[in-house]
Amino acid sequence: MTMQVWSAADFSLNFAGIELDEDAIGPDSFFEFEQLAPDYKLRKGIGGGATRSQMKKPGGKLTVHLRQCAAVNTTLSVLHNLDVNTPGGICVAPIMGKDRNGNYIIEDTEAFIEGAPPWKVGAEEGDVDWVIICASPNQLTGGH
């Protein structure tokens, strides 16, 4: 049996042409994905009949954890401020994430920053958690 090697630094994430790379990753995790609704819902009648309803492209939430000192926070903040302060918004953009094998693990042509992240000033650097909403994400959960 061959030992597996895992490193979050081997993953890459690009949002709106902005590369979020290993220099920006916080100490604990890089990003996490959560589907916003199930792919299927089950409805059962009183008599026992069942129907499975498919929910087409339920959307997803990608939370990206970056070091507070990472310069890319400024870029994301400026992008978000432009989006919020422009009538109708300007930043629905593609997002792509790859694993070390070059597999796309998350991709969507329509993603946007949900809102300004919380942050604080303390004795040590903290993390900044950016939430990016994906309209119709394609994802791969595999042996990266």
7-56 tens-digit pLDDT: 776 788 999 999 987 788 877 888 899 999 999 999 999 999 999 999 88
SS3 24: helix
Q: What is the dihedral of CA 8, 63, 76, 128, to 10 degrees?
A: -80
Mean pLDDT rounded to a whole number for the chain? 89
Per-residue pLDDT of 56-79, as tens digits, reads 888 999 999 999 999 999 999 999
DSSP H helices in the chain? 72-85
Q: Which CATH class is domain 8-37+54-139?
A: mainly beta
Average pLDDT over residues 111-133: 93
Tell me the pTM: 0.85
DSSP H helices in 86-127? none
Domain coordinates of the chain in residue numbers?
Answer: 8-37+54-139
